[in-house]
């Protein structure tokens, strides 16, 4: 769907939702675009005129997002609580490896962003797997699978089969924030809801959860600003 703003076309996504009660807009920070959420019975035409009336708001939201950061040689950031810098080493024999705060990347520069992202996903995954086991042991629950994904709307999820899924972007957050989301999802193996009993379980394994929640709300756009291509 196209919305016009100051003479320029803005592409926006459209999502049908059985649960939505009214037409609304949300910002997809990962793909840097607005998404129109339509309740089952709303027409596209109604949606379009609503979106068009909010064109200024959409443009302001998108402009306020931090500039996208494509992984490149010399780029530094914090990952899993450690300051790291990317160093391109085209002729190295190994693929991608990390040592003393440097992420070394071999091969052609056009592949560097993707290889860095894959490396970070894998290192977040192995961190998350061991952290899940640690918290699961404390809570005496049995997760069956831990996976890492690039989710737009949620930092983590957990289902009744014991599958825990986490966003690898949590690696860019301070470690206590990533640990909180992991503790939150593991706690769902005790309580599959957000009842007071659930929050008590979270507080037992992770007392600083409110500060972590606040950090995530404030800095979500930063976590989504890392990308492999413009
Ligand atoms: Zn939850």
Instruction: Encode 154-187 in three state secondary structure.
Output: CCEEECCCCEEEEEHHHHHCCHHHHHHHHHHHHH
Ligand 1: distance of its center to the CA of 190 in Å? Answer: 11
Q: Which CATH number fits domain 76-227: 3.10.129.10, 1.10.10.60, 3.40.50.300, 3.30.2010.10?
A: 3.30.2010.10
List, for residues 185-215, the tens digit of each pLDDT value: 999 999 999 999 999 999 999 988 999 999 9
Ligand 1: distance of its center to the CA of 194 in Å? Answer: 6
Ligand 1: distance of its center to the CA of 188 in Å? Answer: 7
pLDDT at 145: 95
Percent of the chain past pLDDT 70, that is, above it, reads 100
List, for residues 74-114, the tens digit of each pLDDT value: 999 999 999 999 999 999 888 999 999 999 999 999 999 99
Q: Is the pLDDT of residue 130 over 80?
A: yes
Q: Tell me what the mean pLDDT of segment 156-163 comes to.
A: 94
Ligand 1: distance of its center to the CA of 163 in Å? Answer: 13
Q: Is the pLDDT of residue 218 over 90?
A: yes
Ligand 1: distance of its center to the CA of 177 in Å? Answer: 14
Task: Give the global pTM.
Answer: 0.86
Give Cα separations from 29 to 66, 185, 211, 222, 227 (angstroms). Answer: 10, 22, 22, 9, 11
Question: Residues 6 or more apart from 39 whose CB is under 8 A from it?
Answer: 17, 18, 20, 21, 22, 23
Check: CB of residue 124 under 8 Å from CB of residue 107. no
Ligand 1: distance of its center to the CA of 185 in Å? Answer: 6
Query: Domain extents for the chain?
Result: 2-63, 76-227
Ligand 1: distance of its center to the CA of 69 in Å? Answer: 29
Ligand 1: distance of its center to the CA of 46 in Å? Answer: 33
pLDDT band at residue 10 under the 50/70/90 scheme: very high
pLDDT at 133: 96
Ligand 1: distance of its center to the CA of 181 in Å? Answer: 9
């Amino acid at each position: 769907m196209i919305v016009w703003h100051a003479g320029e076309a803005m592409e926006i996504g459209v999502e049908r939702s059985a649960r939505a009660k009214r037409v609304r807009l949300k910002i997809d920070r990962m793909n840097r675009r607005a998404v129109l959420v339509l309740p089952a019975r709303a027409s596209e035409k109604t949606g379009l005129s609503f979106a068009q009336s909010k064109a200024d708001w959409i443009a302001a939201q998108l402009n306020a997002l931090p500039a996208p950061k494509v992984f490149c040689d010399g780029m530094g950031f914090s990952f899993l609580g450690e300051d790291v810098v990317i160093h391109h080493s085209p002729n190295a024999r190994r693929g991608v490896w990390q040592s003393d705060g440097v992420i070394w990347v071999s091969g052609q520069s056009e592949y560097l962003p993707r290889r860095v992202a894959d490396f970070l996903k894998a290192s977040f995954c192995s961190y998350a797997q061991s952290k899940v086991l640690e918290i699961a042991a404390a809570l005496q629950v049995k997760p069956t699978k831990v996976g890492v994904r690039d989710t737009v709307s949620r930092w983590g999820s957990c289902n009744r089969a014991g599958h825990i899924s986490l966003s690898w972007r949590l690696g860019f957050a301070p470690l206590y924030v990533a640990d909180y989301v992991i503790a939150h999802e593991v706690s769902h193996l005790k309580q599959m809801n957000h009842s007071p009993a659930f929050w008590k379980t979270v507080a037992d394994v992770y007392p600083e959860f409110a500060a972590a929640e606040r950090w995530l709300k404030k800095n979500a756009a930063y976590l989504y600003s890392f990308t492999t291509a413009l």
